[in-house]
Amino acid sequence: MRLIFDKSVPGRRGVRNAGGDVEGEVSIPQHLLRERPAELPELSELDLMRHFTELSRRNFGVDTGFYPLGSCTMKYNPKVAEHIAQYPGFANLHPLIPQFPGGEMMVQGALAVLKEMDRLLSEICGMAAFTMQPLAGAHGELTGAMIIAAYHRSRGNQKTTILIPDSAHGTNPASAAIAGYDVKAVASDANGAMDMAALRAVVDDGVAGMMLTCPNTLGLFNPRIKQVADLIHSVDGLMYYDGANLNALLARCRPGDLGFDIVHLNLHKTFATPHGGGGPGAGPVGVVERLVDFLPTSVVRERLDGSYYLDYDRPKSIGYVAPFYGNFAIILRAYVYILMLGREGLLRASENAVLNANYVLARLKDHYDLPYNRRCMHECVFSASRQAASGVRAFHIAKALIDRGIHPMTIYFPLIVPEAMMIEPTETESKETLDAFVDAMIEIADLARDDPEQVVGCPRTTPVGQLDETLAARKPDLVSLPAVEGQDGR
């Protein structure tokens, strides 16, 4: 499909600017101005609508079809939340208003949303307080790692290392490293849980903390999680809960009760805000009582008269991690979702998420290898090693699903499972959808055995086939720039 720049027609205009009520010449001296306008496309509004509508048809979202992308919790995104996020009382609110005297009273509704979410998420996670500032899950991890560092500084501890299970997602080690820590991996045992002997071997006074998901990335709950926490606490380390998999535990089990000290949540996973094709997300961080003073500045507080204010006077805080109060319009969507589910709905969400995953596991386990043959929580991890023997890898199975109208599962992760296929159905999918998925997976397994060529060549129904990623990396073509000679120095 042609680029938008190639559809440009000189002189054509889309929207018209208002503002002709003031005339005047620009008073800025010539040497501060650009020589030529930037070569942006020149299209009519209709040209543009057709371009982007065509692009949208080359995309696949949760509203298009089943999206069992493991670890990403692609549940349905309620439309009412999209509607509410556009209320002018929120959408037009300038974030600097509460930063000057009298301004707080002009944003009481917004501060109420932030404070209510703090209270709700604290209750759901068993934490003392939450900050809404982190702008995505990984940003929450960085915030959490900075809180770990601030805690140890305040105690005069000399800590250098953060422990992370070998099954962890890549963001965990990356976040710990960016916060200034060394990272040590802890092996998993034959049951897919953390190997306690391996853990004991690496826990020493240099350990600042441990980051992990629970259930882990294999979709398994570690029944000894409390012992892990006790061990880390015995060296004054902190337990960090990566909330990627909280959907399994909602309203049944709280990270705080399991011994965790810091939690980040991915609102675009557990709390149904749309992922946007790569954000915006939101990654609120909660902490136990002894860490509250380290939370980012500002925090929302309630006065005795019930009004809210922003507290900036927090000497032990790690400071600003976002320009303002977080991705507010995302937090608002998650707030809508939690209000609609209520305590009963939260419990039903985790129950149905776990039921759906176990149903898929039960129906597929005769057809694919199951590296850890146990009940799973909200997702299950299969291996395509049996199929790989006949040349059909997890990659090919993923592409074959595309031809059957299904978004592939997560593949090649977790790293400790060869040819991993990580399937997370979520609670919002129906039995019929799961059956159609399972039938497709069984059909592909049969083809892999009987006629592997049928699988390896997929997808065949998409506007482009398998793309040459090696070429893309070796000869990067990353931007389209105007070819006209002398334009903007090129």
Partner 1 sequence: MPFIANTKAQREQMLAAIGSESVEELFADIPPDLQCGELNVPPGLTEQEVRTRIAALADRNSGGLISFLGGGFYDHFIPAALDAIVSRSEFYTAYTPYQPEISQGTLQAIYEYQSAICRLTDMEVANASLYDGGTAVYEAIMMALRVTGRRKVVVDETVSPIYRKMVRSYTSNLGIALVETPAAEGLPDRDAVAEQIDGDTAAVIVQNPNFFGCIDDVTDLAELVHQRGGLLVVSCYPISLGLLKPPGQMGADIVVGEGQSLGMPLSFGGPYLGLMASRLKYVRKMPGRIAGRTVDARGRKGFVLTLQAREQHIRRERATSNICTNEGLCALRALVYLSLLGKEGLVELARICAAKADYLRGRLLAVPGVTMRFGHRSHLNEFVVNLPMAADKVIRGLFGRGLAAGFPLVRYFPEMNNCLLVAVTEQRTKEDMDFLAHSLEVILCG
Least Å from the CB of residue 356 to partner 1: 8
Q: In angstroms, rounded to a whole number, what is the distance separating the alpha carbons of residues 450 and 442?
A: 12
DSSP state of 296: P
Interacting residue with partner 1 among 160, 177, 289, 446 (CB under 8 A): 177
Give the residue, chosen from 159, 254, 367, 404, that forms a contact with partner 1 under the rule CB under 8 A.
254
| Cα angle 74-79-80, degrees, rounded to a multiple of 5 | 130
Among residues 341, 313, 458, 378, the alpha carbon closest in space to that of 80 is found at 341
Q: Coil, strand or helix: which one is 161?
A: strand
Peptide bond into 167 cis (omega under 30): no
Quote the least distance from Cβ 426 to partner 1, whole Å.
10
DSSP letter assigned to residue 302: E
Q: Which stretch binds partner 1 (CB under 8 A): 59-67, 194-202, 384-392, 445-453?
A: 59-67
Bridge partners of residue 311, in order along the sequence: 299
Stretch that binds partner 1, among 274-282, 285-293, 416-424, 446-454 (CB under 8 A): 274-282
Footprint (CB under 8 A) of partner 1, residues 401-430: 402, 407-408, 410, 413, 427-430
**Cα–Cα–Cα angle for 332, 334, 337, rounded to 5 degrees:** 115
d(CA 273, CA 263): 18
User: Torsion angle of alpha carbons 241, 242, 245, 248, nearest 10°?
Assistant: 20
C-alpha distances (whole Å) from 228 to each of 86, 165, 181, 473 are: 44, 12, 20, 41
Instruction: Choose, by CB under 8 A, the member of 339, 389, 446, 451 that binds partner 1.
Output: 339
Q: At its nearest, how many Å lie between partner 1 and the CB of residue 471?
A: 5
The span of 334-342, 385-393, 416-424, 442-450 binding partner 1 (CB under 8 A) equals 334-342
Q: Which stretch binds partner 1 (CB under 8 A): 117-125, 198-206, 233-241, 386-394?
A: 117-125
What x/- string results for residues 122 through 161 when contact with partner 1 is judged by CB under 8 A? -xx-x--------xxxxx-xx---x--x------------
Out of 238, 258, 285, 381, which residue is the one contacting partner 1 (CB under 8 A)?
258
Site for partner 1 in 291-330 (CB under 8 A): 296, 318-330
Q: Quick check: 3 binds partner 1 (CB under 8 A)? A: yes
Task: Please list, residue by residue across 310-334, b when 16 or more beta carbons sit within 10 angstroms of its beta carbon and e when fewer do.
Answer: beeebeebbeebbebbbbbbbbbbb
C-alpha angle 165-168-172 in degrees, rounded to nearest 5: 100
Stretch that binds partner 1, among 4-12, 196-204, 385-393, 440-448 (CB under 8 A): 4-12
- Closer residue to partner 1, CB minimum distance, 223 or 450: 223
For residue 386, the minimal CB distance to partner 1 (Å) is: 22
Size of the site for partner 1 (CB under 8 A): 211
Among 128, 196, 355, 436, binds partner 1 (CB under 8 A): 355
Interior angle at CA 243, CA 189 and CA 269, nearest 5: 120
In whole angstroms, the minimum distance from the beta carbon of 206 to partner 1 comes to: 16
CA 350 centroid distance within chain: 18
Structure tokens at 259: 């011994």
Tokens describing residue 329:
């319009």
Q: Give 410's strand partners.
A: 422
Is residue 354 a contact partner of residue 377, using CB atoms and an 8 Å limit?
yes
Q: Does 90 bind partner 1 (CB under 8 A)?
A: yes
Q: Which stretch binds partner 1 (CB under 8 A): 235-243, 353-361, 384-392, 446-454?
A: 353-361
Minimum distance between the CB of residue 146 and partner 1, rounded to whole angstroms?
7
Task: Tell me: does residue 180 bind partner 1 (CB under 8 A).
Answer: yes
Comparing CB distances to partner 1, the nearer of 226 and 301 is: 226
Binding residue for partner 1, selected from 305, 313, 366, 477, defined by CB under 8 A:
477
CA angle 321–324–330, rounded 5-degree value? 95
Q: Which parts of 185-204 interact with partner 1 (CB under 8 A)?
A: none
Q: Which of 157, 202, 345, 452 binds partner 1 (CB under 8 A)?
A: 345
Q: x-or-dash pattern for partner 1, window 434-473, by CB under 8 A? A: -------------------------x--xxxxxxxx-xxx
Longest dimension (CA), the chain: 77
Of the candidates 373, 451, 480, 484, which one interacts with partner 1 according to CB under 8 A? 480
Select the residue interacting with partner 1 from 155, 200, 290, 343 (CB under 8 A).
343
Does residue 101 touch partner 1 according to CB under 8 A? yes
Any residues with CB less than 8 A from the CB of 11 and at least 6 apart, and which? 42
Residues 6 or more apart whose CB falls under 8 angstroms from that of 470 comprise none
Among 66, 130, 151, 221, binds partner 1 (CB under 8 A): 221
User: At its nearest, how many Å lie between partner 1 and the CB of residue 199?
Assistant: 18
Spatial neighbors of 467 by CB under 8 A, at least 6 apart, are none
- φ, ψ of residue 84 in degrees (nearest 5): -65, -35
